[in-house]
Amino acid sequence: MKVTCGPDHGISVGSLGKYKNEEPVVGVTVRNFTFFNTMNGVRIKTWPDSFRGSVSDIHFEDIIMNNVSSPMIIDQVYCPHNKCNAKLPSLVRISNVSFKNIRGAYHARGVKIVDIDLRYTGKDTRAAVSECSNV
């Protein structure tokens, strides 16, 4: 099935961690979507200063984004209207997330990526890997 979304906010997993004893979110696949004129494309969002929780096996595949402001987001400081303590970290663990075959266009100007320092702090000793292409 092919799904078209727009204009709207896109597809979100979450927000998670705001309430005690939330069920884990496991095994979500978003596939064959087209987004147009949306604020967001696909995202995972968790509250800061949260209760413990988990999100795993989330897959975004075969997606087209046309005029989408923020195509892919993992936000662990989701705090609408500044009504939370964003100084404390989210305790929602996110694992096994993939973004595959995502294409699109947006009329962006003056985009700069400067002084980025992301560190893996988990127990797994494998090296973290990142890749950017067509930049």
Domain boundaries, the chain: 3-105
Task: Return the pLDDT at 86.
Answer: 85
- CA-wise closest residue to 32 among 71, 69, 59, 70: 59
Compute the distance between CA of residue 10 and CA of residue 90 in angstroms, rounded to an integer: 22
pTM over 0.75: yes
- Residue 133's pLDDT is 56
Phi, psi (degrees; rounded to nearest 5) at 83: -105, 45
Return the pLDDT at 131: 60
pLDDT tens, per residue, the chain with 135 residues: 789 989 988 999 999 999 999 999 999 999 999 999 999 999 999 999 999 999 999 999 999 999 998 899 999 999 988 888 888 999 999 999 999 999 987 776 777 778 877 776 666 666 656 666 555
The pLDDT of residue 129: 62
The pLDDT assigned to 1 comes to: 79
| Identity at 54, one-letter amino acid code | S
User: Which class for 133: exposed (0-12), middle (13-18), buried (19 or more C-beta within 10 A)?
Assistant: exposed
Amino acid type, 100? K
pLDDT at 8: 87
Q: What backbone phi and psi angles, to 5 degrees, belong to 61?
A: -140, 145
